């Protein structure tokens, strides 16, 4: 099993590349040229989402699951 930081780093890089690609395609479709500042911004934003925010979401989900297991009467 991989350490948690390695998984988060991989997810951050994947999200970064995915978001940059999406912005590149949108720039090509709308303007005929890629909007490089937007591509870089989306890449940075994708990394932040993949590395930081998705980890928080998984943490909250596991806490909710644990709370439901401890007290089945709460929905």
Per-residue model confidence as pLDDT tens digits over 12-68: 999 999 999 999 999 999 988 888 999 999 999 999 998 888 766 666 666 676 666
Q: Per the domain annotation, does 35 fall within a domain?
A: yes
50 occurs within a structural domain: yes
- Count of the separate structural domains present in the chain: 1
Domain extent at residue 24: 4-70
What is the Cα–Cα distance from 3 to 18, expressed in whole angstroms?
23
- For position 73, what pLDDT does the model report? 67
In a domain, 16, yes or no: yes
Q: Could you tell me if residue 19 is inside a domain?
A: yes
Domain assignment present for 39: yes
pLDDT at 46: 92
Asked whether residue 60 is assigned to any structural domain, the reply reads: yes
Quote the pTM value. 0.69
Assigned domain for 75 exists: no
Torsion, Cα of 23, 27, 33, 36 (10° steps): -40
């Amino acid at each position: 099993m991989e350490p948690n930081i390695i998984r988060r780093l991989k997810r951050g890089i994947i999200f970064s590349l995915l978001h940059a690609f999406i912005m590149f395609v949108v720039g090509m479709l709308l303007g005929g040229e890629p909007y490089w500042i937007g591509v870089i911004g989306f890449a940075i934003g994708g990394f932040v989402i993949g590395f930081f925010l998705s980890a928080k979401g998984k943490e909250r989900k596991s806490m909710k699951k644990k709370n439901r297991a401890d007290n089945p009467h709460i929905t």
